[in-house]
Amino acid sequence: MAEFVYPKLIGARLRSQLSYRASFAIDFVTQVIAQGYEMVVILVLFTQIDALGGFTKNEVLLMYAFAGAAFGVADLFAGQLDNLPTYIRTGSFDVLLMRPLRTLPQIMCSDIRLRRIGRITGALAVMFYALAHVPVDWSPAKVLLTVLTPVAGAVIYSAVWVVACSICFWIVEGREFANAVTYGSNAFTSYPINVYSRPLRWLMAFVVPGAFVAYYPSLALLGRQDPLGLPGWVGWTSPLVAALAAGVAALVWRFAVRHYRGTGS
């Protein structure tokens, strides 16, 4: 039965957002601009320097665009988890538990934020621009890598989102902690990770697998050596890391939901 419910649910959410057209248009444009401002920061820095961490402007833009597109897609589906504290505090999480559907997909479908497509559109535009301006030795495998990278990145970000928000089952107002990881992770992965200090890099690139969203796939595409010394094939492992992250996220979520006790009244 479930497979019939979700398309209907998602369809209803999308129609409801499109019914306020002007409001949607403004939200959409704001999201494109938000994504654009992050690019302006990179462009402003590159008016003063020629390379950041040894990477040229267009190479950094490629990483930024991969990260932006992946984060946009993840936000579309997993961003709703930011509302989890409300579900827990008001006890409406009980409702999700009573339905004969899994809790996580229910929350993810509770509000597909269509305006996020503005962010994705902006990032994809920069991605195509950057791909056209960086030296890539194209092969069918690299085309596949280019397509898979934002998808794998979106799965990684979504997994991070699920794990980070699971903290709300213990600390109800834990959303800001979670945001430090989710939004922080987006800011982190938009730049080459070799510019960060070692502790920050270990935490945000490997414990939270941010390095596999944009940095390593970009290195593989560009055919560049990793300044941090990891071998070249690492850039091709993002889909595996994504699958692993999704598995961990599922386990953490299941553990966290078991911890849920309801508000009692």
Partner 1 sequence: MLAGMTTNVVFGLLRVAILVAALRAANGEIADYDIAAANTYVWIGQGLLGFVLLWGTNELAERVRSGDVVVDLYRPWNLQGALLAEDVGRGGYALLTRLVPPMVFGMLLFPFQFPQNAVQWPLFGISALLALVISFGFRFLIDISSFWLLDNRGLYGFWNVSSGLLCGLTVPIAFFPGWARDVLWMTPFPAVLQAPIDVFLGHGDPWELLLLQAFWAVVMLGIGHVTLQRAMRKVVLQGG
Interface residue list for partner 1 (CB under 8 A): 23, 26-27, 30, 33-34, 37, 40-41, 44-45, 47-53, 171, 173-177, 179-181, 183-184, 187-188, 191, 195-197, 200
Integer CA distances (angstroms), 246 to 108, 137, 159, 251, in order: 14, 31, 5, 9
The length of the chain, given as a count of residues: 265
What's the min distance (Å) between Cβ of 139 and partner 1? 31
Nearer Cβ to partner 1 (24/129): 24
> Looking at beta carbons only, is 61 or 96 nearer to partner 1?
61
Nearer to partner 1, 33 or 141 (CB): 33
Using the minimum distance from each CB to partner 1, give the nearer residue, 169 or 191. 191
The rounded distance, in Å, linking the Cα atoms of 216 and 211 is 6
The closest of 93, 95, 38 to 63, measured between CA atoms, is: 38
Residue type, 172: V
Q: Least distance to partner 1 from the beta carbon of 245, Å?
A: 20
Considering the complex, what minimum distance in angstroms separates the CB of residue 80 from partner 1? 18
- DSSP output for 117-173: HHHHHHHHHHHHHHHHHS-----HHHHHHHHHHHHHHHHHHHHHHHHHHGGGGTSTT
Q: How far is the CB of 136 from partner 1 (least distance, A)?
A: 23
Q: Which is nearer to partner 1, 57 or 152 (CB)?
A: 57
Minimum distance from residue 91 beta carbon to partner 1 (Å):
22
Nearer to partner 1, 36 or 239 (CB): 36
Are the CB atoms for 160 and 182 separated by under 8 Å? Answer: yes
240 within 8 A of 156, measured Cβ to Cβ: no
Shortest distance in whole angstroms from residue 52 CB to partner 1: 6
∠ Cα 98 99 103 (to 5°): 90
Classified as helix, coil or strand, 109 is coil
Asked if 80 contacts 113 with a C-beta cutoff of 8 angstroms, the reply is: yes
Q: State which residue, 6 or 46, has the beta carbon closest to partner 1.
A: 46
CB of 37 to partner 1, least distance (A): 5
Amino acid letter for position 22: A
